[in-house]
Amino acid sequence: MTTGPDWRSLDKDLARLNQTERATGYVVRPLLGLGLALAFMAFAGLEAALVMGTSPTTIMAMVAAVFGAYLALNIGANDVANNMGPAVGAKALPMTAALIAAALAEVSGALLGGSEVVNTVSRRLIDPTAMNSPQVVVLAMMSAMIASALWVNLATWLSAPVSTTQSIIGAILGATCAAAGVAAVDWLTFSSIATSWMLSPLIGAALAMALLALIQRLISRRDDKMAAARRWVPVLLAGMGGAFGTFFALKLPDTIATVTPEQALGVGALAGGLSFMIARPVIRYRAAQLEHQKGAIKALFRLPLVIAAVLMSFAHGANDVANAISPLASIVQVMGQESIGTHPAEIDAFAPISVPFWVLIIGALGMAMGVLLFGPRLINMVGTQITKLNPIRAYCVSTSAALTVIVASWLGLPVSSTHVAVGAVFGVGFYREYAAAQTRRAGGKSNRPGLPREDRSRRRLVRRSHVLTILAAWLITVPLSAMVSALVFTVLRFFAG
The letter for the amino acid at 155 is A
Mean pLDDT throughout 397-409?
79
381 versus 56: which is more confidently predicted? Answer: 381
Q: What is the pLDDT of residue 450?
A: 53
Least Cα distance to 415 among 328, 316, 309, 486 occurs for: 316
CA-to-CA separations, 476 to 157, 283, 323, 440, in angstroms, rounded: 16, 45, 19, 38
Q: What is the pLDDT of residues 29-50, one digit of tens each?
A: 667 878 899 999 999 999 888 8
DSSP code of residue 129: G
Q: Sort 386 into a burial class: Cβ within 10 Å, 0-12 / 13-18 / 19+.
A: buried
Say whether pLDDT at 420 is over 80.
yes
User: 90 with 381: CB under 8 angstroms?
Assistant: no
CA-to-CA separations, 138 to 47, 66, 86, 330, 338, in angstroms, rounded: 19, 14, 39, 8, 11
Q: What is the pLDDT of residue 354?
A: 67
DSSP code of residue 356: P
User: 380 with 220: CB under 8 angstroms?
Assistant: no
Say whether pLDDT at 93 is over 70.
yes
Q: Please tell me the distance from the alpha carbon of residue 141 to that of residue 137, in angstroms, as a whole number.
A: 6
Q: Please tell me the distance from the alpha carbon of residue 230 to that of residue 281, in angstroms, as a whole number.
A: 9
User: 245 with 270: CB under 8 angstroms?
Assistant: yes
> Of the spans 25-29, 116-120, 267-271, 302-306, which averages the highest pLDDT?
267-271
The letter for the amino acid at 129 is T
Model's pTM, two decimal places? 0.81
Which residues lie closer than 8 Å to 367 by C-beta, 6 or more apart? Answer: 72, 73, 75, 76, 79, 106, 107, 110, 317, 320, 321, 324
Q: Sort 95 into a burial class: Cβ within 10 Å, 0-12 / 13-18 / 19+.
A: middle
Q: What is the pLDDT of residues 127-185, one digit of tens each?
A: 766 666 778 888 888 999 999 999 999 988 888 888 888 898 899 899 989 988 888 88
Residue 458: Cβ within 10 Å count: 9
Give me the chain's average pLDDT, please: 79
Phi and psi angles of residue 234, each rounded to the nearest 5 degrees, phi first:
-60, -35
128 versus 283: which is more confidently predicted? Answer: 283
Least Cα distance to 480 among 168, 72, 176 occurs for: 168
Local confidence band at 303 (pLDDT 50, 70, 90 cut-offs): confident
Say whether pLDDT at 114 is over 80.
no
User: 82 with 312: CB under 8 angstroms?
Assistant: yes
Q: What is the total count of domains within the chain?
A: 1
Within-domain flag for 230:
yes
User: 329 with 319: CB under 8 angstroms?
Assistant: no
- Angle at CA 52, nearest 5°, toward 347 and 74? 90
Within-domain flag for 12:
no
Say whether pLDDT at 124 is over 50.
yes
User: What number of H helices and E strands is found in the chain?
Assistant: 15, 0
450 versus 162: which is more confidently predicted? Answer: 162
Within-domain flag for 15:
no
Within-domain flag for 176:
yes
Q: What is the pLDDT of residue 3?
A: 56
User: 42 with 66: CB under 8 angstroms?
Assistant: yes
Beta bridge partners of 126: 185
Say whether pLDDT at 230 is over 80.
yes
Within-domain flag for 1:
no
Q: What is the pLDDT of residue 190?
A: 86
Within-domain flag for 427:
yes
Instruction: With both helix axes pointing from N to C terminus, report the angle between 464-496 and 164-180 in degrees, rounded to the nearest 10.
Output: 30
Helices (H), 216-260: 225-251
User: 72 with 324: CB under 8 angstroms?
Assistant: yes
Q: Please tell me the distance from the alpha carbon of residue 362 to that of residue 368, in angstroms, as a whole number.
A: 10
CA-to-CA separations, 231 to 268, 306, 404, in angstroms, rounded: 21, 22, 26
Domain residues for the domain of 386 are 38-496
Within-domain flag for 6:
no
Say whether pLDDT at 277 is over 70.
yes
Within-domain flag for 212:
yes
DSSP labels, 139-191: HHHHHHHHHHHHHHHHHHHTT----HHHHHHHHHHHHHHHHH-GGGB-HHHHH
- Angle at CA 368, nearest 5°, toward 323 and 259? 55
